[in-house]
A and B are shown apart, each in its own frame.
Chain A
C-alpha cells in the first residue's frame, strides 16, 4: 500500500513561504510527477513527504496514518537522489544491501534480495565494484536497486535523470516506467523537464511559486490547461500565447494556440508574417514567424518535408476549434 495524503501542508524557511498550504492525494500505485520551473518548491515538497524536512503546518498521512512527525527511516518510503547519493566506500553489493542490513535481515536473506534486484537492473556483473568505477547510468541503477530492495510503500525520485546525458536519459526513463508497471508501487517523481512528466506520469502536479497550479493526467493538462502558466509550461515547443486585439476577437484577455494547431500557407491566412529561424527535426519542422503584428513571434509546427527559408513570407491560420481562451486573471474560460 502507498497512499499519500497531504492536508494543508506548508513549508516556510524563516519568513519565506516555500510551499503555501496545499492539499494533494497520491493514490496507491499511481505514478505522480511534480513538475515546475526551478525554485517552484517541487523538491521541497518531495523532501517533506520523505521526512527530510519538517512541515511548518498541515499533516502528511501515509496509508491513512499520520506520518507528519515520523522520522524518514520509519516512513517506509525509498528515495532516489539526483546525485545518486551512493556510499562511495561500499561495493555495489553493500550499497544495495545497506537498507536490508539496517532492517536487521539475515545475511542469506540480504544476499538473496540483492541478487534479485541486481538481476532486474542488469547489475549482476558489477556487484563487487565501487560506485566510483561505474558510469552515470549504472550508478543510477544502483540507487534504484537500493530503493527497490526495501520493498517500500512508495518510491520518491528527486530529478533522478538530470545528471545523465540525453540518450541515457531516454533509456532510463523507459526503465523506470517499466519498473513501475512491474512493481505497481506508488512513485512520486520530481522533474523540471515537462517531457519526462508527460511521458511517465499517470498524474502530473504542476507547481509554481510554492502553489499547485493544476493536477491532472498528462493529456488533461495538455488539452485543458487551467491557466496561462500551465498552458505555457506543458507542451513542447510551448503554446503561443497572444493577448490584445486578437484575443479580444475571441472574448478573452489571452488566447493560446499550440504550434501544431496553426496551418501555414504561402498565399492566404489570418496572420501574415516572415519566417525567422527554422528548426528541422526530420519528422517535424518548427518555424518561428515574426512581424505578424502580434507582440511575440509565433511558433508553428509543420511536417518534416515543409521547406521554408529565412525571410520567406507566410500566412498563418489558427485552428479556431483548438484555441484556448483565458481571462484577465489568466484563468481558463470554459
Chain B
C-alpha cells in the first residue's frame, strides 16, 4: 500500500538526508580545501572555510618532492592486478558453490568470511617472514598477491550471491547444447552475471586502492602505492597539513572520479537480485 507522505515530512527527510550526506563528505571537502591553503591558513584558528589565499604551491611542492606518477602507477597495478587475479580465482569458486553445492558449501562460505574477522596484524609477522623468504618484500607482485587474498572472501561472496540469481536451467541448457565447463562459464554464466561482476570489480578496486595496512607494512621505496605516498607526508615532516592534504587529494582523486562515474553501476550491482 502506498503511504501518504506529507509535504512537511518530505522537506524534513530531504534536509536530513542532505545533512547526513554533507557530514560524511565534510572531511573530504576539508582536505581538498586545505590543500589549496598556505601552511599558515591551514592551522589558523578560528579555521578559515572559503576566505583564504587560494594557492597551488602545495601541489607544486608535493610533485617536486616526490614522484606522484610512480606511486599512482603502483596503485593502479596493485589494485587492478589483485582485482583481476581475484576475479579469475573467484568465478570458478563461486560457480561451484552456487551450482554444484555440497553439504559443506555453507560452512566453507562462512569460514572464508571468518578470515575477515581476524585482525590483520595477527598474521603480519608470518606473512612478513614469508615475504622475506620469497623475496616479495617491497614488490608489486607481492602486494598483488596479498591484497588478492585479503579481498578474495568478499569477491567470492558477492559473485556467489549474483550467481545464485541465475536460473540453473540456462546452464543446463548450455550443457545440453554441447558446451564444455569452460564454454559454459565463459559464454553463458559470465555474460549473464556482468552487472554483478562489474560491481564486484569496482568495489574491489576501491577496497584495494584504499588498503593501507598491508601496503604500508610490506613496501619501502619501490612498490609503494598512493597510500604510502600520503603516509610519507605525515610523520617525518611534522605538521604540514596543507601539503599532506594536497598529497591526500592527489591520492584519492582517481578513485573518487572513478566512483563518481560508476556510481550507477555500483548501486545497481549492490542491489542486484534484491528485487526480482
Contact = CB atoms under 8 A, between A and B. Distances in A.
Interface of A: 50, 52, 71-74, 77-79, 81-83, 85-89, 98-99, 102-103, 146, 150
Contact of B192 (A89, A98, A150): A89
Given A78-B176, A85-B173, 11 more contacts: A73-B179, A79-B172, A79-B176, A81-B172, A85-B167, A85-B172, A88-B170, A89-B192, A102-B178, A102-B180, A150-B178
Interface in B141-177: 167, 169-170, 172-177
B175 A52 contact: yes
Contact of B173 (A71, A74, A79): A79
Contact of B174 (A74, A77, A88, A98): A98
Ranked 4 nearest A-B pairs via Cβ: A85-B173, A99-B177, A102-B178, A85-B169
A161 to B, nearest CB: 16
A88 B192 contact: yes
26 contacts: A50-B176, A52-B172, A71-B175, A72-B175, A72-B176, A73-B176, A73-B178, A73-B180, A78-B177, A81-B169, A81-B173, A82-B169, A83-B167, A85-B167, A85-B170, A85-B172, A86-B170, A87-B188, A87-B192, A89-B192, A98-B174, A98-B179, A99-B177, A102-B178, A102-B180, A146-B173
B191 to A, nearest CB: 5
B265 interface: no
Contacts of B188: 87
A72 B179 CA distance: 9
Nearest to B167: A83
A306 B129 CA distance: 95
A103 B178 contact: yes
B56 to A, nearest CB: 48
A87 B169 CA distance: 10
Contacts of A88: 170, 192
Contacts of A82: 169
Contacts of B170: 85-88
Contacts of A79: 172-173, 176
B169 A83 contact: yes
B175 A73 contact: yes
Contacts, number: 60
Contacts of B180: 73, 102
B183 interface: yes
Nearest to B170: A85
A73 B177 contact: yes
Contacts of B175: 52, 71-73
A94 to B, nearest CB: 10
Interface in B165-205: 167, 169-170, 172-180, 183, 187-188, 191-192, 194
Nearest to A77: B176
Nearest to B193: A89
Contacts of A99: 177-178
A88 B173 CA distance: 12
A86 B169 CA distance: 9
A90 to B, nearest CB: 8
Contacts of B169: 81-83, 85
B165 to A, nearest CB: 12
A146 B192 contact: no
Contacts of B176: 50, 52, 72-73, 77-79
Contacts of B178: 73-74, 99, 102-103, 150
Contacts of B194: 89
A89 B191 contact: yes
Pick the most buried of B172, B173, B179: most chain A CB atoms within 10 A of its CB.
B173
Choose among B172, B178, B188 the residue with the greatest number of A CB atoms under 10 Å from its CB: B178
Contacts of A50: 176
A254 B118 CA distance: 71
B114 to A, nearest CB: 28
A315 B166 CA distance: 58
A78 B170 CA distance: 13
A145 B170 CA distance: 15
A62 B265 CA distance: 48
Nearest to B171: A85
Contacts of A87: 170, 173-174, 188, 192
B100 to A, nearest CB: 12
A83 B172 CA distance: 12
A81 B191 CA distance: 21
A289 B175 CA distance: 52
A98 B177 contact: yes
A209 B224 CA distance: 66
A81 B167 CA distance: 12
A77 B175 CA distance: 11
Nearest to A99: B177
Contact of B179 (A52, A81, A89, A102): A102
Contacts of A52: 172, 175-176
A82 B172 CA distance: 12
Residue among B167, B177, B188 with most chain A CB within 10 A: B177
Contacts of A89: 191-192, 194
A150 B191 contact: no
A85 B194 CA distance: 18
Nearest to A78: B176
Contacts of A103: 178
A72 B81 CA distance: 37
A132 to B, nearest CB: 12
Contacts of B191: 89
Contact of A146 (B167, B177, B183, B187): B177
